[in-house]
A and B are shown apart, each in its own frame.
Chain A
Amino acid sequence: MSTASSGIRFDSVTVAYDGNVVLDALDLTVGPGEVMALLGPSGSGKTTALRAVAGFVRPASGRVFLGDRDVTGLPPYRRGIGMVVQQYALFPHMRVADNVAFGLKARKVPKAEIRTRVAEALDMTGMGAYARRHPRELSGGQQQRVAIARALAIRPDVLLLDEPLSALDAQLRSGMLAELARLHRELPDVSILYVTHDQVEALTLADRIAVMDKAKLRACGTPTELYRAPADAFTASFVGGANLLPVTVGTGGVSFGDAEIKADTGGVARGASATLCVRPHLVGLGDGPNRLTGTVREIQWRGSTHRLYVDVGGHRVMADLRELKAPPVHGESVSLHFAPEDAVLLPAGVSAGEE
């Protein structure tokens, strides 16, 4: 497979149902061999984007490219894409081996080759021993593996995964995450578009994450970029959770209510309103730089950590602290602090106002 034939490109793709825009002019490129996570809440348009690649929804405008091939007008069965959906959709009337062979038979691959490729796909997903079973005799995790094997058997350049882990319980999910990461290492040329609402899945698997909200692409970048330096408030709170404090920009810092906070103001003009983003786990208890004082409103013990909700001048500040020997009590006055380099200043644009 040549480089030119793989990868996905959305060129200003808009999808509307009955005049209702569910995907608004999406521009996005997934490179060959790249894992791109589409992350967003339900109704954000991420699944619609995936279905536009698969060919199940027709864009109202814009083009979809697979490699350098414009597939916008092609029916799904001529696109050559592997797809795995939330409910697996294994054919209940076929055995596991026949399910995996389905795509190959439909493409009239010679029989002998079908056999070797089915065996290969099943081995790759660790389901070789289950070839003679029916789907209903398998557990959810096993069905998931068969669904992946079925999608991989046709050796697609592009693999679409639509919330593939959301039907599994928490323990199986982390196992399958590791499994997917291993598969990707074994198939380095396959581009993967991975739709999820779970930021852990996105952060773990993806080379890049595209954050979507209300039919629009909000931000796109590597997990580190999005986590360390989110571009807007929505991305900051959706990827990893964040304290978003309304501040006024000063020189060499910002003012938050009465408190003066040292932070990198970047190129933001003095006197402008902005949002300061601080991750809860970077907030410490007690005296330190950038001290904020407030009243404890709520304490949640989460085993290895304590989460504190502190009311600072009418704003809620969250702090995740290593398990405290003597946690503060409700209503107690406490001091919080964070390092200046741990704060990111976001321009108080439209996005922050929406929150």
Chain B
Amino acid sequence: MWALFLVLFLPLFALPLLVVLGASFATHWSGVLPSGLTTAHYEAATRGEALEALTTSLVTATTASLLALATGTWAALAAAALKQRHRKALDALFVLPLAVPSVVVGLATLVAFSQPPMLLNGTRWIVIVAHSVLVTAFAHQSVSAALARLDPAYEQAAASLGASPAYVLWRVKLPLLLPSLTAAAGLCFALSMGELSATMMLYPPDWTPLPVLIYAATDRGALFTGSAVAVVLMTATLLVLLAVSRIRTRASYR
């Protein structure tokens, strides 16, 4: 069983990541191992265009996940206060972006914001809007799942002590939801960092996120440079996720 597991698991899941990592340091790869070790790709990947793309991705992902978190949390809280039937309708509405292909979300955003009253085409905002729409569904889902698990006894205890609903929300519910909120934020961030399909439909020339850059590099055959950029992308994502999970452990310890 063990051996079977290793045979299946390692080549399938671990190898791809290692290969990308290895390729990012190489100039040739025509044997079993990469050859021509170099860090030149990283110099390229942390300069000029690539550095700009990294900032673009980080800004987009941060903005989109914060927007999504705010909207998703608000919607989840509002839904919890609604009647059963309305709640179901709202939930269904919010998970719809999960089912609609992101390319279509891209297309839809493109069509909608290329005409008045909202002319956003060609600006960075169209990318951020599309990303927000895409990840809001995830934020909403994880927050409403956490909300459903929250013991109503806390809320009721607070209310019996004379706390108004707003005070309960601010002092009891949100602090108790904090671990789930940060987890949702991390998820949204990672998704937005790696989002390619909708972005491909929308990005203006001066707002090129990392995935698009990676695609452009591989498309013109610069596979090794692409790998280096991909490693930068993975590292940035991982670092942010790590930071978020540290906030989370502190929040749940409190």
Measured CB to CB, the residues of A under 8 A from B are 54-56, 75-83, 85, 87, 89, 91-93, 102-103, 106-107, 134, 150-151, 154, 160
Contact = CB atoms under 8 A, between A and B. Distances in A.
B154 A103 contact: no
Given A89-B151, A93-B175, A93-B176, A77 B164 contact: yes
Nearest to A106: B163
Contacts of B154: 89, 91
Most A CB contacts (10 A, CB to CB) among B153, B164, B165 go to B153
B21 interface: no
A23 B160 CA distance: 21
Most B CB contacts (10 A, CB to CB) among A54, A89, A160 go to A89
Contact of A76 (B160, B172, B176): B160
B151 A93 contact: no
A87 B175 CA distance: 19
A93 B162 CA distance: 19
B162 A54 contact: no
B153 A89 contact: yes
B161 interface: yes
A56 B176 contact: no
Interface in B147-175: 151, 153-154, 156-165, 167-168, 171-172, 175
Interface of B: 151, 153-154, 156-165, 167-168, 171-172, 175-176, 178, 254
B254 A89 contact: no
Contact of B162 (A91, A134, A154): A154
Contacts of A93: 175-176, 178, 254
Nearest to B151: A89
26 contacts: A54-B160, A56-B156, A76-B156, A77-B162, A79-B160, A80-B162, A81-B160, A82-B161, A87-B153, A89-B153, A89-B157, A91-B154, A93-B175, A102-B163, A102-B171, A103-B163, A106-B161, A106-B162, A106-B163, A106-B164, A106-B171, A134-B254, A150-B161, A151-B160, A151-B161, A160-B160
Contacts of A82: 160-161
B175 A85 contact: no
Given A92-B176, A93-B254, A102-B171, A77 B163 contact: yes
